Amino acid sequence: MLSKKTKYGIKALTYLARQDRSVPIQIATISESENISLKFLESILLTLRKNGFLGSKKGKGGGYYLLKDPKDIPMTAVMRILEGPIAMVPCVSLNFYEKCDDCPDENKCAVNKIMLQVRDSTLKIFRNTTLADLSN
């Protein structure tokens, strides 16, 4: 299940993608427009800023803005920053692989087989979707 952090992060990024990138947007404006708790949104936007998605300007006329064009922000990157591994189980993760303690042979594991398909389908969607696609 998608966490609220990721859901709200995508909503905030999409909101910013629809704005003039030369004008920083105040957190309160995003919070009100997208119905996201201000405190929670601050934490999410800070994570996105630390990971190179957003820039910020302090003071009067300050706020957050996208650092990249929305077409250059793939959803795989957003998901991994906000949600963590895309795979539902660690034994099929590309970036966070871990062998399952209870599985003697991944090649014979029914869970591994289906989760590989789920991972591949999910990755295909995320790789082929950018922030621009969501903000149109």
- Residues 46 and 83 grouped into a single domain: no
Q: What is the pTM of this model?
A: 0.89
Q: Report the CATH number that the domain containing residue 45 is assigned in CATH.
A: 1.10.10.10
- Residues 60 and 88 grouped into a single domain: no
Instruction: Return d(Cα 20, Cα 18) in angstroms, integer.
Output: 7
- Residues 97 and 131 grouped into a single domain: yes
Instruction: Return d(Cα 98, Cα 90) in angstroms, integer.
Output: 5
- SS3 for 25? strand
- Residues 86 and 124 grouped into a single domain: yes
Per-residue DSSP letters for 118-136?
Answer: HHHHHHHHHHT-BHHHHH-
Query: Domain range spanning residue 35?
Result: 4-66
Final residue in a domain of this structure, among 39, 66, 93: 66
What does each of the 136 residues of the chain score in pLDDT, given as a tens digit? Answer: 899 999 999 999 999 999 988 899 999 999 999 999 999 999 999 999 999 999 999 988 889 999 999 999 999 999 999 999 899 999 999 888 999 889 889 989 999 999 999 999 999 999 999 999 999 8
Count how many domains the chain has: 2
- Residues 76 and 131 grouped into a single domain: yes
- Residues 131 and 77 grouped into a single domain: yes
Residue 130 · residue 73 · CB < 8 Å:
yes
